[in-house]
């Protein structure tokens, strides 16, 4: 964690910040939104603040987490945060030596209510002791976008388990299963084989329901002759995976073959042509423009991909208007799709890491294979 703090302090100096306050938007009982705090400190508790300066690093938690913070974040000085924030915030700022100095906060890490509480706490301090509160750039998110070797190994473990879970269910799914049953079988496999859980609610969308990219699984029975989009992910060791494949129960028809072939060709083309120093928009347009040339541009309405790590959606974004610049060490999805109202959809999604300027595919779940009860036509 010390190297992460060193890199953060360099970014803080560039942003002319004397201190940085890091938290999460809400109490993070499911471990989904405290990623910045966990990335910097290793602390996995549901609530707490980090305060980092050029000379020191504090972790402020209440009594419930004192022992956990000392164990998980040994490089941080424990600050007992007893009671509401206004009762201890001034003492924390004083101990950090930030009186009269520039204190940044991560705008995405706090709610409006928390911001109002902090600003009031600062105003109630004697004038000479007040820090100057400033909204900081997304400094921690910028660091998190580049994965180190340990993070890549953690991501790969999550990806591998996701591949296994998908393969196990693709071999068993058959007409008569409900979408909800299929989703539960995926989640059950993940938990029974060492996963902490799913990284998001599993999507199983059959037939016309698959025309919604973020459909939820229903108690509707899957029928033969339907395309089925499965979008799933694993949470393992704090890191996430994301995988989409499209199956077909029965013998695929001409329309499915046509749509699937377009999506697969676009996905493989994007994986071959994306390069570092492209913007997220340029990467997205590699796929979108090809789909548009086939006449289905209006049927691909979401971005080509997104970063994955401690959270299922993080930097970079591969989408229209994204100015994120791709760099080695970034992990992201490549997931084109075509969605046709009244018929269904096809989406194929891999996770990749940029290495030596180009994507290396992490996902190994097969495309175009025959499964028991299903013609597997997607990742």
State pLDDT tens for residues 106-144.
988 899 999 999 999 999 999 999 999 999 999 999 999
- pLDDT, residue 368, reads 66
Strand partners, 247: 228, 376
In angstroms, the CA 45 to CA 37 distance is: 9
Per-residue pLDDT, averaged over 65-91, amounts to 96
Dist. CA 207–CA 205, nearest whole Å: 7
- Which residue, 85, 8, 71, 83, is CA-closest to 42? 71
The pLDDT tens digits of the residues spanning 48-67 come to 999 999 999 999 999 999 99
Give the integer Cα–Cα distance in Å for 342 and 49: 48
Q: In what order do the strands lie in the sheet with 331-334?
A: 314-318, 305-307, 331-334, 350-355, 358-361
What's the rounded Cα separation, in Å, for the pair 79 and 239? 28
pLDDT at residue number 253: 86
pLDDT band of residue 378 (cuts 50, 70, 90) is very low
| Average pLDDT, integer, range 1-30 | 93
Mean pLDDT, residues 88-98 taken together: 97
- Compute the distance between CA of residue 299 and CA of residue 322 in angstroms, rounded to an integer: 20
- The pLDDT, as a whole number, for residue 316 is 98
**Mean pLDDT to the nearest integer, 345-369:** 93
**pLDDT above 70 (res 354):** yes
Model confidence band, residue 379 (pLDDT cutoffs 50, 70, 90): very low
**Cα gap 223→132, rounded to integer Å:** 62
Question: What is the maximum alpha-carbon separation in the chain?
Answer: 76
Number of residues written out for the chain? 379
Encoding tokens for residue 36? 């910045």
Query: Containing H/E element for 235?
Result: strand 234-236
List pLDDT tens digits, range 202-221.
999 999 999 999 999 999 99
pLDDT in tens, 277-311: 999 999 999 999 999 999 999 999 999 999 999 99
| Nearest partner of 75 among 40, 126, 104, 34, judged by Cα | 40
**Residue 179 and residue 173: Cα distance in Å, rounded?**
10
Domain limits, the chain: 2-143, 149-376
Name the fold adopted by 149-376.
Creatine Amidinohydrolase (3.90.230)
Residue with tokens 């060492």: 194
CATH code, 2-143: 3.40.350.10
Residue 370 and residue 295: Cα distance in Å, rounded?
Answer: 29
- Between 283 and 375, residue with greater pLDDT: 283
pLDDT exceeds cutoff 50 at 377 = no
- pTM assigned to the model: 0.94
Identical fold for domains 2-143 and 149-376, yes or no, is no
Token digits of residue 102: 């520039």
């Amino acid at each position: 964690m010390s190297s992460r703090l060193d890199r953060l302090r360099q970014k803080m100096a560039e942003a002319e910040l004397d201190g940085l306050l890091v938290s999460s938007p809400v109490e993070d009982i499911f471990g989904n939104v405290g990623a910045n705090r966990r990335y910097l400190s290793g602390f996995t508790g549901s609530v707490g603040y980090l305060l980092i300066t050029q000379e020191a690093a504090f972790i402020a938690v209440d009594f419930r987490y004192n022992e956990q913070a000392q164990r998980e974040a040994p490089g941080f000085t424990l600050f007992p945060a007893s009671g509401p924030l206004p009762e201890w915030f001034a003492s924390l700022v004083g101990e950090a030596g930030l009186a009269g100095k520039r204190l940044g906060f991560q705008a995405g890490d706090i709610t409006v209510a928390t911001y109002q509480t902090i600003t009031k706490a600062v105003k109630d301090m004697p004038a000479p002791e007040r820090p100057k509160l400033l909204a900081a750039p997304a400094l921690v998110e910028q660091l998190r976008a580049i994965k180190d070797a340990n993070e890549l190994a953690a991501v790969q473990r999550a990806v591998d388990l996701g591949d296994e879970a998908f393969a196990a269910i693709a071999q068993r799914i058959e007409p008569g299963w409900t979408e909800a049953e299929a989703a539960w079988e995926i989640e059950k496999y993940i938990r029974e084989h060492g996963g902490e859980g799913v990284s998001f609610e599993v999507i199983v969308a059959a037939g016309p329901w698959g025309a919604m990219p973020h459909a939820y699984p229903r108690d509707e029975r899957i029928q033969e002759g339907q395309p089925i989009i499965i979008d799933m992910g694993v949470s393992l060791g704090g890191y996430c995976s994301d995988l989409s494949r499209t199956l077909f129960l029965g013998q695929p028809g001409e329309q499915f073959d046509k749509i699937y072939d377009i999506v697969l060709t676009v996905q493989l083309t994007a994986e071959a042509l994306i390069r570092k120093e492209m913007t997220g928009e340029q990467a997205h347009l590699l796929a979108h423009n090809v789909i548009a040339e086939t006449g289905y541009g209006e049927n691909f309405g979401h971005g080509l991909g997104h970063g994955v790590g401690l959270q299922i959606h993080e930097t970079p974004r591969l989408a229209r208007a994204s100015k994120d610049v791709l760099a080695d060490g970034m992990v992201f999805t490549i997931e084109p799709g075509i969605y046709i109202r009244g018929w269904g959809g096809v989406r194929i999604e891999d996770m990749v890491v940029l290495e030596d300027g180009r994507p290396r595919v992490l996902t190994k779940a097969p495309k175009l294979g025959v499964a028991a009860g299903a013609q597997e036509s997607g990742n």
